Amino acid sequence: MEVLPQKLAPSVMETVYDHVRYVYYDMWNEIGDPRVINYPLMDGGPWTTIALVLSYLYFVKVVGPALMRDRKAYDLRGPILLYNIALIGMNGWFFYTGCWITKFGFDSWKCQLVDSKSHAFIDLFKIRVGWLFLISKFIDFCDTIFFTLRKKERQVSPLHVFHHSCMPIFCWIGVKFAPGGNSGFFPFLNSGVHTVMYTYYALSTFPVLRPYLWWKKYITQMQMIQFVLVIVHSFYSLLIPGCQWPKVFMYLSIFNAFLFLLLFYSFFRRTYESTRAKMNAASNGVSNGTNNGSTSGTERKAPSKNIRKEE
């Protein structure tokens, strides 16, 4: 009678490999939405997205400044204008589509669960829009790259870099695990704000229009209002009786929005309130000099030049 060979137990290396592969790849597809697997960046874990973010950080913090150290700043007004026009069109389309999908955001205030088995047209369309919104956050990297190539170091602020670094990761999580439902509220608001923001940037490339672009600070205020609404929306979703929307996404949304609200508010105070204080001080200096007759006409004009530089 022939004795069949026993199946050998897996080796330690095979066991380790299986565990690593599960954590690196299989686990993400098991707990994620199966309908997004065939989209670029969405099969497996967030490793490609993280690699792209790290590459962005390496360029804007190391490679870019080193490359431009001994070079003149590039004049990129033409490419920047085209870029801004493209971003206006892209975000405008997201906002228009969001108005249709979410009924101007009102549907996102309901408890809308994501059915990962649904292949209805509207559900698959939401996934496509969500994935394109994710890709747009990589395109936004060009903002910082243009600043670097133009040697606008002051504009490459910690807030700017942190914001652009986090958004692709947060959007990846939304598309991977909850493409649709209540997740549509933030992209709807964000695309509307970005449409206004890139319109401002496009207009600012024309020197003749810059005196009329007094409304820049209101864009920052719109961004802060956006984060407040996201926080309120997430808390409201938590309080809907019987809503089975995963609470971890609500907590993550609240944390993310609250963090950026604090950062943008700090930026707003530093940028606009300090500028206002300098303008008031300069105005008081001019007024005092005029009343006392202690300064010449040339000296009285100096503060106004400084004010223009600050603006």
Q: Would you name the residues annotated as active-site residues? A: 163
Single-letter amino acid, residue 70: D
**Of 98, 99, 108, 122, nearest in space to 243 by CA:** 108
* Alpha carbons 194 and 200: distance in angstroms, whole number: 10
C-alpha distances in Å from residue 175, one per residue of 37, 39, 253, 292: 10, 10, 14, 66
Contact criterion met (CB below 8 Å) for 227 and 258: yes
Burial of 25 (0-12, 13-18, 19+ CB in 10 A): middle
C-alpha distances in Å from residue 226, one per residue of 187, 190, 198, 299: 10, 7, 16, 44
* Alpha carbons 116 and 85: distance in angstroms, whole number: 35
* Alpha carbons 26 and 265: distance in angstroms, whole number: 40
Backbone angles phi, psi at 249, to 5 degrees: -70, -35
* Alpha carbons 281 and 272: distance in angstroms, whole number: 14
150: CB partners within 8 A, 6+ apart: 73, 74, 75, 76
Residue-level length of the chain: 311
